[in-house]
Amino acid sequence: MPRRSSGRSSSRPAPRPAPARSPPPQPAHHAPPPAPAQSGGGSMLGGIGSTIVQGMAFGTGSAVAHRAVDAVMGPRTIQHETVVSEAAAAPAPANSFSGSDACSIHTKAFQDCLNGYGNEISKCQFYMDMLAECRKNSGSVLGA
């Protein structure tokens, strides 16, 4: 069936021939499957040895870092300070027990506690118990 023309003259370009088709695309190349895992390949000593070596490397690195910080900041120094309390610096009262007593250490600790806490005698109960136990074991009596 031929086309009809509508009486107008239109200049249409002639239809283009279809472009030549290229061959179909090749299938995509996939990566090879992963290698199978080695089962039972290492010894127990190998795992522990590896951990030990890793720890030694970490320790060495830490030591090197400490030395580098010391080089920049200066060496670390530790100062030991002793604080002398007023009770220890003052001479012992005249009514204290003699040092020849086997329980003199406990007696002095109890006396120091009483001097330090004054009316809070419950805080000195531990020292009183220790003194009583010492005197019971040594055979001496309180106030002797």
Q: Where are the alpha helices (DSSP H) in 16-103?
A: 44-73, 86-89
Residues 103, 109, 115, 117, CA torsion sign: negative
Q: What is the pLDDT of residues 18-34, one digit of tens each?
A: 666 776 777 777 778 88
Maximum Cα interatomic distance, the chain, rounded to a whole number of Å: 148
pLDDT for 19 equals: 65
Q: What is the pTM of this model?
A: 0.28
Q: Does the pLDDT value for residue 44 go beyond 70? A: no
Give me the mean pLDDT over the 78-107 stretch. Answer: 65
pLDDT for 18 equals: 65
At 81, which amino acid appears?
E
Percent of the chain's residues with pLDDT above 90: 8
